[in-house]
Chain A
Amino acid sequence: MSTLVLTLITGVGLGALYFLVASGLSLIYGLMHVLNFAHGAFLTLSAFLGWVVAQALGTDSWWSFLASIAVGAIVGAAFATLTELVLIRPLYERHIEQVLVTVGLSFAAVALFEGIWGTDPITVSGPSWLKQTTDVLGARIPNTYWVLMIAAALVLLALVLFLQKTRYGMVIRAGVENRSMVTALGIDVRRSFTVVFAIGGAAAGIGGVLAMHYSTFVSAHLGSTLLIFAFIVTVVGGLGSLTGAAVASVLVAVLQQFANFYLGGTGDFIVVILLAVVLLVRPSGLLGRKA
């Protein structure tokens, strides 16, 4: 029983991490049809700078932990905004070329991070509470998972409120539905592209700092590993669907954890098989609209 609870809760926690990465990807794809390969680089840079800040402020205090998350979000947003303005915008409507420049950026960024911070993973530590466990029905859940869940829930809530309640959110939703109509109404969709990139980058940045605490180390390849799962999550959930991304994150991660515990560490495979099954049954994804 306790193993079952443990697997389930750690699965949901891991799903929260996937959601933090996938939400930005999904939003960006939904509005701009850009598959952003540099998303992993946003995440990695945020993790590194978050780590630097935490080191400077003392790793075991909660304030430095929160500060590192805030720095991660800001760094992610700034990096993403810059990417959009410098690389994506000049290639307006050239989707394949837009994907290619993000590929080039991820290539260059990972190499640069290796140059700056070295190729070896750096062990990180946070507030000591994160290393402890909490008892739930006899299962000892590492506290990092709670933080992941809280962060993902807050990000999801913030995104929903933003999309539903703000003017930008409205423009973005309308832009996804019919871009040319929104442009014809005299609204600058391009500015909302930048906003979406910044938001996606911020979510990735938060995910990056937390991913570093989750895996207890940070390396130049932190982002690329997570990015693949985020891709799978976005495809399974239905491209561009935020709810789909949330549901698929949890589904994918829980399945992965169960397979790792009960089927001898085959989690990564089960995920790919799930992807294949979803594609065969419903090519548009779980919550994607039927093609």
Chain B
Amino acid sequence: MTAVRRFVPAMVGAALIVFMAILPLLNLSLPGILPTPTYLPGTLALLSLCMVFAALALSYNLLLGSGGMLSFGHALYFGAGAYGLGIALEHFGVPLWPGVFIALLGGMVIALATGAVAMRVSGIPFAMVTLAFAQAGSVLVRRNSEVTGGEEGLSLDTDQVPDMLVGVVNTRNLYWFALAVLVVVYLVTLWVDTSRLGHLVRATRENEQRVRVLGLQPYRAKLIVFVIAAVLASLAGVAYMLLQSGTVPRAVSADLTITILVMVVLGGVGFRWGAIVGGVLYTLLDQRLTVLAGSEAIAGLPGVLRIPLSEPLFLLGVLFILVVMFLPGGIAGTIDAWVRRRRGERARVALRGIDDAESQAETRADSDREVRV
């Protein structure tokens, strides 16, 4: 019985992937959620975007959920993937696949350099430092307009991209590409989580001192996980670039990092499927709320109601606050806790776990801090 139960998630996952893969061949409609039937480019583009952001959220979950690293610079690596591919194709004139390789390599090198420095501190200072690095990246992108297109953004040099991945008629191929990226990212995060590295990094999250006493190297393990998460984010960035046939500076901004964070927390920190649900749900909400904001029903309201309701980001921000305050495990954590309660097991809420580890570390280091005048 337990053996069967172990394989259920894998089978459900496989079935879901197969279903997603044949979706472009089906004629399904979900009015209100999807703009068109599933075989038309509009819906396929939206679903592809959902999957790209799900992949990005998964990579961030590896960082926050497994590693306990609250980074505010994750968008930097996403942007590195998107801009890296764009620059490689336009300025180096290489074909697509070497271009993808260059983009991922670039993301990795940036992650190694910035991660190694940022990891000199941990916890909340780490968040601030990663944010500063990402901001530097954002400034770089905006300033060097001859390379990155500045505020205008960089459009994809389609000469170097195989025809099957270009244009609205080929949205279906791009959709499959995005699905493949999501599956690859999922498998890598699964592999990291179940590997020795993943165990080491989770142990470090709980108690770094103890790991060090055992003679293991928490710094190296955390850095490796950081770099893996960054390369996965770059891969999502590459997919984003192909999908949107271009990128804008927003792809490197602090706004995007916060968006990723919102996705992961909404879905449930520490749950791979939570990250996917969060990424998809956020993207759908973002798109649908924008449509809602422009609707006549909203335009007819008095200002006090109209202004907040016509700002999708306001609604998402409020939703995020409500989730953090009242659903601390996010969607996945809440469902998981409910299922486990029914089975009589102890619930796991990753965010709380990270926080507890954090406050333990803080108590130890409490003498480090003071307001001095």
A19 CA / B307 CA spacing, docked (Å): 33
Q: Which of B80-88, B220-228, B352-360 contacts A (4 or more CB under 8 A)?
A: B352-360
B246 vs chain A, min Cβ distance (A): 21
Total CB contacts across the A-B interface at under 8 A: 170
Which of A107, A172, A269, A275 is in CB contact (< 8 Å) with B371? Answer: A172
Asked if A232 and B368 make an inter-chain contact with CB atoms under 8 angstroms apart, the answer reads: no
Asked if A107 and B262 make an inter-chain contact with CB atoms under 8 angstroms apart, the answer reads: yes
Asked if A96 and B311 make an inter-chain contact with CB atoms under 8 angstroms apart, the answer reads: no
Is A55 an interface residue when CB atoms closer than 8 A count as contact?
Answer: no
Within 8 A of B (CB), among A163-214: 163-164, 172-173, 176-178
A183 CA / B291 CA spacing, docked (Å): 51
Asked if A111 and B127 make an inter-chain contact with CB atoms under 8 angstroms apart, the answer reads: no
A129 CA / B254 CA spacing, docked (Å): 36
Q: Which of B42-50, B236-244, B312-320 contacts A (4 or more CB under 8 A)?
A: B312-320
Asked if A96 and B70 make an inter-chain contact with CB atoms under 8 angstroms apart, the answer reads: yes
Which of A26, A103, A108, A231 is in CB contact (< 8 Å) with B261? Answer: A103
Asked if B373 and A104 make an inter-chain contact with CB atoms under 8 angstroms apart, the answer reads: no
B336 vs chain A, min Cβ distance (A): 18
Is B120 an interface residue when CB atoms closer than 8 A count as contact?
Answer: yes
Within 8 A of A (CB), among B333-373: 351-352, 354-355, 358-359, 362, 365-373
Asked if A176 and B371 make an inter-chain contact with CB atoms under 8 angstroms apart, the answer reads: yes
Residues of A within 8 A of B132 (CB): 228, 231-232, 235, 272, 275
Residues of A within 8 A of B313 (CB): 107-108, 110-111
Residues of B within 8 A of A112 (CB): 307-308, 311, 314
Asked if A107 and B317 make an inter-chain contact with CB atoms under 8 angstroms apart, the answer reads: yes
Residues of A within 8 A of B118 (CB): 279
Residues of A within 8 A of B258 (CB): 103, 106-107
Is B8 an interface residue when CB atoms closer than 8 A count as contact?
Answer: no
Residues of A within 8 A of B261 (CB): 100, 103
A289 CA / B366 CA spacing, docked (Å): 11
Asked if A241 and B371 make an inter-chain contact with CB atoms under 8 angstroms apart, the answer reads: yes
Which of A87, A103, A241 is in CB contact (< 8 Å) with B370? Answer: A241
Contacts A35-B124, A104-B324 known; A178 to B372 CB distance under 8 Å? no
Interface residue total, chain B, C-beta cutoff 8 A: 54
Within 8 A of B (CB), among A207-229: 224, 228
Which of B317, B366, B368 is in CB contact (< 8 Å) with A284? Answer: B368
Is B248 an interface residue when CB atoms closer than 8 A count as contact?
Answer: no
Interface code B121-150, partner A: CB below 8 Å = 1, 0 otherwise?
100110111011101100110010000000
List the B residue with the shortest CB-CB distance to A273: B136
Interface centre among A103, A110, A242 (most CB of B within 10 A): A103
Residues of A within 8 A of B321 (CB): 87, 101, 104-105, 108
Is A56 an interface residue when CB atoms closer than 8 A count as contact?
Answer: no
List the B residue with the shortest CB-CB distance to A232: B132
B267 vs chain A, min Cβ distance (A): 13
Main SS class of interface, A: helix
Residues of A within 8 A of B213 (CB): none
B373 vs chain A, min Cβ distance (A): 5
Within 8 A of B (CB), among A47-98: 87, 90-91, 93-97
Is A109 an interface residue when CB atoms closer than 8 A count as contact?
Answer: yes
List the A residue with the shortest CB-CB distance to B68: A96
Asked if B371 and A163 make an inter-chain contact with CB atoms under 8 angstroms apart, the answer reads: yes
A-B contact pairs, 13 of them (CB 8 A): A103-B320, A106-B317, A107-B316, A108-B318, A111-B311, A115-B308, A160-B373, A228-B132, A235-B125, A242-B371, A268-B135, A272-B133, A289-B368
Q: Which residues of B contact A (CB under 8 A)?
A: 70, 117-118, 120-121, 124-125, 127-129, 131-133, 135-136, 139-140, 143, 254, 258, 261-262, 265, 307-308, 310-314, 316-318, 320-321, 324-325, 328, 351-352, 354-355, 358-359, 362, 365-373
Q: Which residues of A contact B (CB under 8 A)?
A: 26-27, 29-31, 33, 35, 87, 90-91, 93-97, 99-101, 103-112, 114-116, 159-160, 163-164, 172-173, 176-178, 224, 228, 231-232, 234-235, 239-244, 265, 268-269, 272, 275-276, 279-280, 283-284, 287-291
